[in-house]
Amino acid sequence: MLVVNVKAQEYYSNERNEFYNSPDTVLHLEHSLISLSKWESKWHKPFIQNQDNLSGEEIIDYIKFMTISPNNVPDSVYHSLTKENVQTIIDYIKNPMTATWFSDDKDKNRPRRPKKKQIITAEIIYYWMVSLQIPFECQKWHLNRLLTLIRVCNEKNEEQNPDPKRKPSQREMMSRAAALNAQRRAKLNSKG
């Protein structure tokens, strides 16, 4: 959870031709599947692929949906967010929130997933959670942490149930050959 202190400010609304005051407010924010789902239901477009190209109004809306307390925060508070506040929130959204890392870039011989880029929406993530039997309490986790868990589950499932159609990598073939050679040398008491 991210805590953001928003200082009281006076601002002017061009739409209403009025001045407004926003109170000092402490926002408790969570970048979760719940906030993603709420935002996508309003804007009707995927958030994950578009998060770097959002309008100011879309960003403010996402921050509103991230808010878990206090309830009924006036809109004036969100319009009083400073650039530093918004940057802190964006950094929080992009934070991986886990010590888990993947070695995709290191193993160039490993077969890649299909090149077709899947559009990831809240419903796709919920589907993954259901198919992997991830409890729904995890929808409240930081979204990046949940996506990492989903990826770990997929990779562990692939290890336990490898695809019989997948061609082994050169490293795997060399490892098998070395193991077979070592086994034969031991059986025949040979050094080479």
**Where exactly are the structural domains of the chain?**
1-192
Residues 65-82 have pLDDT tens digits of 999 977 788 888 898 899
Residues 50-55: what's their mean pLDDT? 91
3-state SS of the chain is: CEEEEECCEEEEECCCCEEEEECCEEEEECCCHHHHHHHHHHHCCCCHHHHHHCCHHHHHHHHHHHEEECCCCCHHHHHCCCHHHHHHHHHHHHCCCCCCCCCCCCCCCCCCCCCCCCCCCHHHHHHHHHHCCCCHHHHHCCHHHHHHHHHHHHHHHHHHCCCCCCCCCHHHHHHHHHHHHHHHHHHHCCCC
Residues 138-184 have pLDDT tens digits of 999 999 999 999 999 988 888 887 766 777 778 878 888 888 888 88
Predicted TM-score (pTM) of this structure: 0.72
Residues 44-58: what's their mean pLDDT? 93
Q: What is the dihedral of CA 20, 52, 146, 91, to 10 degrees?
A: -60
User: Could you tell me how far CA 146 lies from the centroid of its own chain?
Assistant: 7
Structure-token match 């991830």, residue found: 134
Q: Which two tokens stand for residue 189?
A: 């008491």
Point out which residues pair with 11 in neighbouring strands: 20
Residues 5-30 have pLDDT tens digits of 999 888 777 878 888 788 889 999 99
